[in-house]
Structure 1
């Protein structure tokens, strides 16, 4: 894939993820009734639900801005790790959240090639 195609693909995925996480954060920030009911079922109170939305939107902003994109990607990856743990704890399917996690990693690797190269080198050095 050419550098231009890689860059375009990275930005398309970034926009897709930013939209997804922004809608999710908006539900949390506005204390959407449906989202609040689902959070309550997991034992998450309204104040905590809203704070999660703040963390989510700040992470998305950092992810979209090129200069802070790596930090934002790492924050979103950590956020999704928490979502995976919550799903596992409550015996819910993790397929969707794992897919989003993989999409974040893929997007970060496309947008920040050095990050992808470092991960590959780390894997070769330590895993194989």
Structure 2
């Protein structure tokens, strides 16, 4: 994969992830009735739910800024890990959350090739 292709794919995935999570954060921050009801069923009160949305949007913003994108990637990995745990605890499906987590990791590998080159020597692409 050429550098330009990798970069383009990385930014496309970044945009997809950012849109998905920004929409999710918007629902939490705006206190959409359906979202608040679902959170309440999981034992999360409205104020905590709004705080989770604020944290989510901060993670997305840090992820979008090129200078802080790697830190934002790690924040999103941690955030999604918490989402997976929350879904498992409440008996909800984790499929969508795991897919988003996988997309974040794929995006990390595409946007930061040094991770693939230095830290994952088994999948090196020295071409």
Q: Decide: shared fold, TM above 0.5.
A: yes
Q: 2:120 — aligned with what?
A: 120
Q: 1:102 — aligned with what?
A: 102
Q: Structure 1 residue 119: deviation in Å?
A: 3.8
Q: Structure 1 residue 95: deviation in Å?
A: 1.4
Q: Structure 1 residue 90: deviation in Å?
A: 1.3
Whole-angstrom CA distance in 2 between matches of 1:118 and 1:79: 25
Q: Which runs of 5+ in 2 are unaligned?
A: none
Instruction: Give the alignment of 1:1-128 within 5 angstroms.
Output: 1-121=1-121
Q: Structure 1 residue 120: deviation in Å?
A: 1.1
Q: Structure 1 residue 113: deviation in Å?
A: 1.0
List per-residue Cα deviations over 1:15-71 (Å, max 9, x = no partner).
011100100111111111111011001000111000001100000000011110011
In the comparison of the two structures, how many residue pairs are matched? 123
User: CA RMSD of the aligned region, Å?
Assistant: 1.4
Runs of 4+ in 1 over 3 A off after TM superposition: none
Q: Structure 1 residue 118: deviation in Å?
A: 4.0
TM-score for the superposition, normalised by structure 1: 0.91
